[in-house]
């Protein structure tokens, strides 16, 4: 199974279309029948191959709908979710409400995150990456333990 990695600088056009990196499109075509789901999270967008999204939905279906925190999370996360596919030019169309949420105006970054992909406003991504890099030393031991390196 192929994984998503790397970062790619692209632009989003006035209609909200984004050309995906060819390597990512190949993975979606070969392994996921070009089916993907996009939703909002943390000030950016997250793209899931449909089988990964299916696992998320199945997990959500097992949660109690009587717990307010779970309902709030589901409302936020699931209300932004849209099914998506590539057009003939390898682009996806990101709806206006998701573009506004993630502040996607022109310059964007598409980031491979192993099982998912993030789409960021370029300036926000660079700020977040710089901040994370500056603070990484303080949490190095816990990260190493978490990922078992």
Q: Is residue 15 part of a domain?
A: yes
Q: Is residue 35 part of a domain?
A: yes
The model scores a pTM over 0.95:
no
Q: Tell me how many domains the chain contains.
A: 1
Q: Is residue 140 part of a domain?
A: no
pLDDT value for 52: 93
Walking along the chain (149 residues) 10 residues at a time, the average pLDDT comes out as 89 95 93 93 96 92 90 91 93 96 97 96 93 68 59
Structure tokens, 46:
């997250």
Query: How many angstroms separate the CA atoms of 70 and 53, rounded?
Result: 17
Q: Is residue 93 part of a domain?
A: yes
Q: Is residue 53 part of a domain?
A: yes
Query: How many angstroms separate the CA atoms of 81 and 12, rounded?
Result: 19
Q: Is residue 46 part of a domain?
A: yes
Residues across the chain = 149
Residue span of the structural domain in which 102 resides: 7-122
Q: Is residue 39 part of a domain?
A: yes
Q: Is residue 108 part of a domain?
A: yes
Query: How many angstroms separate the CA atoms of 100 and 88, rounded?
Result: 25
Instruction: Could you list the beta-strand ranges (E) of the chain.
Output: 7-11, 17-19, 36-41, 44-49, 82-84, 91-93, 107-112, 117-121
Query: Residue 91 belongs to a domain with what CATH number?
Result: 3.40.1550.20
Query: How many angstroms separate the CA atoms of 133 and 128, rounded?
Result: 9
């Amino acid at each position: 199974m192929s994984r998503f990695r790397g970062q790619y600088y692209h632009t989003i056009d006035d209609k909200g279309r984004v050309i995906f990196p060819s390597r990512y499109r190949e993975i979606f075509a070969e392994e996921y029948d070009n089916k993907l789901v996009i939703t909002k999270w943390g000030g950016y967008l997250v793209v899931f191959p449909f089988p990964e999204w299916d696992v998320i939905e199945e997990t959500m279906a097992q949660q109690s709908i009587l717990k307010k925190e779970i309902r709030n999370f589901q409302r936020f996360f699931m209300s932004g979710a849209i099914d998506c596919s590539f057009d003939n030019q390898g682009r996806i169309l990101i709806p206006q409400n998701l573009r506004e949420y993630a502040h996607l105006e022109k310059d964007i970054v598409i980031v491979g995150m192993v099982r998912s992909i993030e789409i960021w406003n370029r300036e926000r991504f660079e700020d977040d990456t710089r901040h994370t890099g500056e603070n990484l030393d303080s949490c190095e031991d816990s990260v190493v333990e978490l990922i078992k390196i």
